[in-house]
Chain A
Amino acid sequence: MSVLKELTKGIYKENPVFRLALGLCPTLAVTSSVENGVGMGLAATAVLLCSNIIISLVRNLVPKKIRIPIYITIIATFVTIVELLMNAYFPALYKSLGIFVPLIVVNCIILGRAEAFASRNNMFMSIVDAIGMGVGFTLSLVVISTFREVLGNGTFYGMNVLPSSYEPAMFMVQAPGAFLTLGLILAFFNWLDLRKTGN
């Protein structure tokens, strides 16, 4: 098990959104603009990092039968702490990210990594895993929100990138645009896969 492999697997090979199809609910909800996508990605990465560290440290003190409630307790505690600290010391950031932070508790990537990785590996490897998966999640959100914001609003990260003669396809920033974009990207990844295996 190499460090580099664990670090990069989240970006393509085990990309949480496009390959594992995890965390689709927040993915669909927040990708209406690139700014939101980046914010949600970074906030989830921070929580994933904290929860992976703690869970890998206590992994031998957690009875198998009650591991899920314990993981959820740890994750929810971190999310609340992050929310309180952000609200108190970074009010501007909190104002733009505020509604996404509580959503992180139900992001199954975090519980998924706790269960699949942090509970079986040491702290260092769990940190590497959290960074890799967090970056992969953030990149996925950026890819989806770029399509949606550019086509649906004519902007990228709030800056105008298309000529004003372009009439934005409003539905791209609404729910149908999210499903359409995600579906097409998933299809593209599956097609890549099929081509590689020669089918």
Chain B
Amino acid sequence: MREIFRLGLILMTYALIAGAALSLVGLKTMPVIAENLARAEEEARIFVLPAMNGGFESIEGGALSYWIGFRDEAKTVVGGYVFTALGMGYSSEIRTMIGVDENFAIVGTNVLFQQETPGLGTKIIEVSSGDSDPWYMRQFIGKSLPEQLKLSSDGGGIDGISGATISSRAVAESIERGLASLQETVGGNR
């Protein structure tokens, strides 16, 4: 009996030290991590919808959360919108940030998160040598609703990836859905 208490106490001491070390590191790193995340999102917004001198304004609470980008610093001229599209891929959720101009044509895309099969589904973010952006995602630039945002096998204007149809379709469908929802939400607010 005394042996159990002794061993329990020793184990507890190790756990206490480990816990203290972790909370110390956690306290130091949490604010930096949150800051990194916020900055990454801000950079992603600027990347998908550039030249917004008035910055972005977040609109939340409706069916879809999105940002309005303003062309001028007085925030009177709307230059476009940014939203995040969510799609269920083959092995993960695929989160894509999309920037559209004031006429809802796609200006820029950025895949924020995906854990698809390496070598197959990850081709949605594969960059060919000499390029700066993924060749699959580039197909969306300049496109708009209603018909162009489907895979060509589904009657649209996007070429799917052979061997990764589920991933490429998930991206196209999530963007199509998000854009439709955005047009509806913005139309309702106008």
Contacts A74-B14, A74-B18, A173-B119 hold; do A88 and B7 have CB atoms under 8 A apart? no
Complex Cα distance A152/B163, Å? Answer: 13
Which residue of A76, A80, A87, A170 contacts B120 across the interface (Cβ within 8 Å)? A170
Query: With A33-B119, A99-B115 given, is the CB distance from A170 to B40 under 8 Å?
Result: no
Q: Is B129 an interface residue (CB 8 A)?
A: yes
| A36 interface residue per 8 A CB criterion | yes
Q: Is the CB of B119 within 8 A of A85?
A: no
Interface residue stretch chosen among A12-20, A63-71, A116-124? A63-71
Q: How far is the CB of A69 from chain B (nearest CB, A)?
A: 6
Does B21 touch A at the CB level, under 8 Å?
A: yes
Number of contacts between A and B (CB, 8 Å)? 65
* Interface residue tally on A, bucketed by range: 20 to 34
Select one of A70, A87, A159, A173 contacting B14, CB under 8 A: A70
CB <8 Å contact, A81 and B22: yes
* Cβ contact of A91, chosen from B22, B36, B119, cutoff 8 A: B36
Instruction: Give the docked Cα–Cα distance between A70 and B9 (Å).
Output: 12
Complex CA–CA separation, A108 to B46 (angstroms): 44
Name the residue of chain A whose CB is nearest to the CB of B37.
A91
A70 lies within 8 A of B11 (CB)? yes
Q: B112-130 interface mask toward A, CB cutoff 8 Å, 1 = contact, 0 = none?
A: 0001011110000000010
Query: With an 8 A cutoff between CB atoms, is A138 at the interface?
Result: no
19 other contacts beyond A36-B118, A85-B25, A153-B119, with CB at 8 A cut-off?
A33-B118, A63-B6, A63-B7, A63-B10, A76-B18, A77-B18, A81-B21, A81-B25, A84-B33, A87-B33, A87-B36, A88-B29, A88-B33, A91-B36, A99-B115, A152-B119, A173-B118, A174-B119, A174-B120
State the B residues within 8 Å of A (CB).
6-7, 10-11, 14-15, 18, 21-22, 25-26, 28-29, 32-33, 36, 40, 115, 117-120, 129, 163
13 A-B pairs, CB-CB below 8 angstroms?
A32-B119, A63-B7, A63-B10, A66-B10, A70-B11, A70-B14, A73-B11, A73-B14, A76-B18, A77-B18, A152-B119, A170-B120, A173-B118
